[in-house]
Amino acid sequence: MQTKSNSYHVVALRKLSGLALVAMLAFSGCTTAQMPQSAVQLAPEKTHLEIVSLREGDMLKISFPGSPNLDSAQQIRRDGKITLQLVGDVDAAGLTPDELQQKLIKLYASQITTKEITVVLQTSAFPVFVTGAVVRPGKVLSDHPITALEAIMESGGFIYSTANLKAVKVSRNNNGVMENYTLNLKAVLEGTDKKTFYLKPSDIVFVPERFAVF
């Protein structure tokens, strides 16, 4: 009888151990399934300045930790280049800050002892285009939010003898679809319209002449 009782207890303990192991594995499996979700939620996103391509008008701070005499602030010119000591003109537009950094490290490889250069995008300018009855039609670069009226003023203002301020057109390429807006800037100037129309990069502002047919 003693032997049967012992055998019964051994079997019971094995069953309990097996159930406990199954429960532990199930709990462990649930925890593992939640980890990737938590990791994704906590992962920091890249900022706009870290992934954006450089363009005309952007202001850069270029630092040489081992040769501070080479440090400089550079604005990308209309030709997409910057000019640096020892290496001259360098194409910058179209590259990310990190790509330009790596390019400079290669260019300066034989010029500096410490192979360390940092490129920081300080301000990013964007272009809009103003045409029609304005004093200086063409491209306007802005490093801050700009309204249609402000862009026109940057272009020298209206040609008041011919400009139709009541029907200023703004054309915008929104993901391949052209959108058109008509603005009454005469009302804005007179203070009867308080709405503010901010431009987006590459918007085209057209100031028509009076009595023109569209």
Give bridge partners of residue 43 from the DSSP assignment. none
- Residue 52 pLDDT: 64
| Residue of 141, 151, 200 whose CA lies nearest to 172 | 200
Which residue shows structure tokens 């010029």? 111
Q: How far is CA 58 from the centre of its chain?
A: 12
Structure tokens at 114: 């410490």
Contact of 185 with 179, CB cutoff 8 Å: no
- Residue 4 pLDDT: 45
Strand pairing of 204-207 and 126-132? parallel
- Residue 72 pLDDT: 96
State pLDDT tens for residues 52-71.
689 888 899 999 999 999 99
| Segments making up each domain of the chain, as ranges | 1-41, 48-123, 126-207
Q: Which residues of the chain have pLDDT under 50?
A: 1-51, 213
Q: Edge-to-edge strand order for the sheet containing 177-183?
A: 138-142, 126-132, 204-207, 168-174, 177-183
CATH 3.10.560.10 fits 126-207, yes or no: yes
- Residue 32 pLDDT: 35
- CA separation for the pair 166, 152 (Å, rounded): 14
State pLDDT tens for residues 112-122.
988 899 999 99
- CA separation for the pair 117, 67 (Å, rounded): 9
Q: Which CATH class is domain 48-123?
A: alpha beta
Fold agreement between 48-123 and 126-207 = no
Can you say whether the dihedral through the CA atoms of 124, 134, 199, 193 is positive or negative?
A: positive
Structure tokens at 38: 């938590």
- Residue 151 pLDDT: 97
Q: Could you give the 3-state DSSP secondary structure of residue 171?
A: strand
Q: What is the pTM of this model?
A: 0.55
- Residue 145 pLDDT: 86
